[in-house]
A and B are shown apart, each in its own frame.
Chain A
Amino acid sequence: MQTRKVTIDPITRLEGHGKIDIFLNDEGDVDHAYYQIPELRGFEIFSLGRPAEDMPQITSRICGVCPTAHHMAGTKALDALYKIEPTSPAKKLRELIYNTFMLEDHALHVYVLGGPDFIVGPEAPKEQRNILGVIGKVGVDAGKRVITTRRRLRELITYLSGKIIHPVFGLPGGVAKGLTKQDLPKFQELAKDSLDFALFTIQVFRDIVLKNDDYVKMITSDAYTHQTYYMGLVDENNKVNFYDGKIRVVDTEGKEYAKFSADKYLDYVAERVEPWSYVKFPYLKPLGWRGFTDGTDTSLYAVAPLARLNVSDGMATPKAHEAYEEFYKILGAKPVHHTLANHYARVVEMIQAAEKMVELINDPEITSDHIRVIPFEKPTVGVGVVEAPRGTLFHHYETDERGILTKVNLIVATQNNSARIAMSVDKAAKGLIRKGQISDGLLNKIEMAFRAYDPCNACATHALGQMPLRVNIKDITGNIIQTIRR
């Protein structure tokens, strides 16, 4: 039997690395494609015995692209651990930092990482499918505006957080640093510019993507569609919230399946171990593990921008909500199951993040110096949850009465999507490889299958080019019979 194996290695970095192995059957069609994560660093163990208050700074080192998400989840876990609420101004400062972070991180994805596939085009020459191609398409001035806006957003985070790559503001009951009245005007101006920038971005998306029938067809095509459950945080009105709220899960029909607070996460989320990957595969615990399968019988759920829109009844701010309604008008009824719609949902979220910035920076309390309360309760258990740009992020700490960690459990945003990503890669490979014929287009189409979920894969350095991909087609003895590279 002439079994063939196709290896894509490295696809890119996911906290280090990613790899795809594709197995072909006798007919040369895809038998199965595996998406593997070959890394593990062990944060949950090496945090033990350390004081819990160090966790926001230690866990941010899980990811240097979204350190603010880990820092914030850790800080909220400390609030819960010490049974303390941050002061009102502190909560607003945290939300200001968080919405600013969400906006700059989403902007990175839209213009630098995933967006080029659409803005420049999935079939455009690969040398152009990057930020430089984006600048070519939207214009030099617009390109500079992207770089400059992102730098200014990161300056605001630096002001409040000390360091942009790895922040230090988080303490139980508040934040370490406030915002002074003198410095307020420049950040008020930034917030206003940011909203203009977000509205500009959705217009770019409308003009370039939505007005192109081929793109809309691609977004809604079966190759990029999976029916799963969805998970995300919502506020008391079931509107999208990045920083806080209850975790809501909807089924494949969009019906509410569960709504729970962070401390109940273990009732709903379980993780499956597979021998062929270091990453674990979360699923809905009450439904039990039902395998890598989608449709009404699935127990898998997805997170990230599309999931957040699907679980909510709307956006929390007016202009973002208008964009939300337009989103479902174009793509159909909730829930939208098209993975590539994540790109569109991300732009809708940028508007909410910017509107929130405007609201928060003009809040009279934002320059208050009442930014901390000291905890006095004995610590026991704390779970902190935020919506990272890439989805729901869980930090769970347990300590002794001195606040020394005895147990840590982390379920990281991208990890929630790992089963669905594995299915997406398998589906894309099956759709593209027929009778042993492998087209060059396979490479970018496979990239697009997972890039929509997880720009952490394609780290920020994608700025100057694209992810390295090589597909080796080997015969059964391991000899390479064909190599496709770019």
Chain B
Amino acid sequence: MSDKPKIGFYWCASCGGCEESIVDLAEDILTVAGAVDIVFWPVAMDFKKSDVEAMPDQSIVATFINGAIRTTEQDEMVNLLRRKSQFVIAYGSCAHLGGIPALANQFPREQILKYVYEESPSTVNDEKTRPATSIDIKSHTLTLPGFHKLVRALDQVIDVDYYLPGCAPTPKLLKEAVMALLQGKLPPKDSVLAPDIALCDECPRKDSKPTDVAYTEFKRPHWTLMDATKCFLAQGVVCMGPATRGGCEALCVNGNMPCTGCFGPTSRVQDQGAKMLSSLCSSIKPTDEEGIDAVLEGVPDPVGTFYRYGLAASILRVKVNKE
């Protein structure tokens, strides 16, 4: 093993997009791979839990962990990695804030299992068979992991040093983070490794952002022909830009669709959804309840709109389900 700094990558409940974002370094991946020793990366290398257990504590310089936490196995694994790593970096929206899988926190676990294995229209299951954590078939015992009731962000399970935001993070930010790490130029602990500005500040449409607006309606994108040069908020389309950290260089806006908030809040905002809600609601023109309701018709799913990536880490965190 060389003296190059040891780096690890690990995944929990995620889609693989974060792994793909590492491959999107394209030609740069060889530079990164040459500067560090990747000591484990489950999908890419011969990695065993026992190998990590055998490493001295703190012997890995940094571990990048993506995905949210839902199973006991993930729980154990990230605790082990915490012990072995000097720095833990929450990589991507799911590790950072819970991500889209955390929208499941609005539903009871049983409702998910019942629908998937009994009620879905293509499922044929008169015996009401369910996957079991332990089952004997012909005297063979087969096991499956169990699931927590809740999806959690990484720092709700272990101490996290840095965060790389985004669904997925951009290769540019990844490269900058790795370089900062190698050069020992890291910012204070708990920093989010992306510019601490609102997305609006780097948006190509910022000049048309309204300073004084009174909403009479919110328009849903599929019912709206969107002007490709004008601020979405000025067009009455909800855009999470004001409550969201920049650093992606306004990718979705460049695709002519509004920001949905995947980079999370800036350091000055405690709760991304609450910030956006207060910002929008203070600009609703009607003042009577009926009028306000009519305007809010255009936002039929406030949780999915304002907390799409951040529910697990938000002040809402979970809907209390009485099972």
Contacts and interface: CB of A to CB of B under 8 A. Distances in A.
Interface of A: 3, 5, 10, 12-13, 15-16, 21, 23, 31-32, 34, 36, 38-42, 44-46, 48-51, 53-54, 57-58, 61-65, 67, 78, 82, 147-148, 150-151, 154, 158, 160-169, 171-173, 176-177, 265-266, 269-278, 280, 282, 285, 289, 372, 374-375, 396, 402-404, 407, 409, 411, 456, 458-470, 485-486
B44 A466 contact: yes
B156 interface: no
B14 interface: yes
Contact of A34 (B112, B113, B142, B221): B142
Contacts of A82: 222
A276 B144 contact: yes
Interface centre among A21, A154, A374, A468 (most CB of B within 10 A): A468
Contacts of B182: none
B131 interface: yes
A388 B13 CA distance: 22
B19 interface: yes
8 contacts: A5-B140, A64-B21, A65-B17, A169-B257, A171-B221, A276-B142, A375-B223, A465-B45
Contact of A45 (B111, B168, B221, B301): B111
A456 B26 CA distance: 19
Interface residues of B, number: 82
B162 interface: no
A443 B74 CA distance: 25
8 tightest CB-CB pairs across the interface, nearest first? A162-B255, A64-B17, A42-B112, A64-B15, A168-B257, A53-B222, A64-B16, A165-B17
Contact of B47 (A3, A16, A468): A468
Interface string B28-44: 01000100001001111
A285 B124 CA distance: 9
B301 A404 contact: yes
Contacts of A409: 120-122
A451 to B, nearest CB: 13
A428 B313 CA distance: 45
Given A276-B131, A276-B137, A162 B251 contact: yes
B257 A162 contact: yes
A21 B142 contact: yes
B131 A277 contact: yes
B167 interface: yes
A402 B222 CA distance: 12
A265 B52 CA distance: 47
Nearest to A47: B103
B226 interface: yes
A53 B142 CA distance: 40
Given A165-B168, A273-B131, A276-B132, 5 more contacts: A46-B103, A163-B251, A165-B17, A285-B124, A289-B124
A165 B132 contact: no
Interface centre among B13, B16, B42 (most CB of A within 10 A): B16
B43 A13 contact: yes
B17 A61 contact: yes
Contact of B21 (A12, A165, A466): A165
Nearest to A163: B251
A62 B260 contact: no
B265 interface: no
B79 interface: no
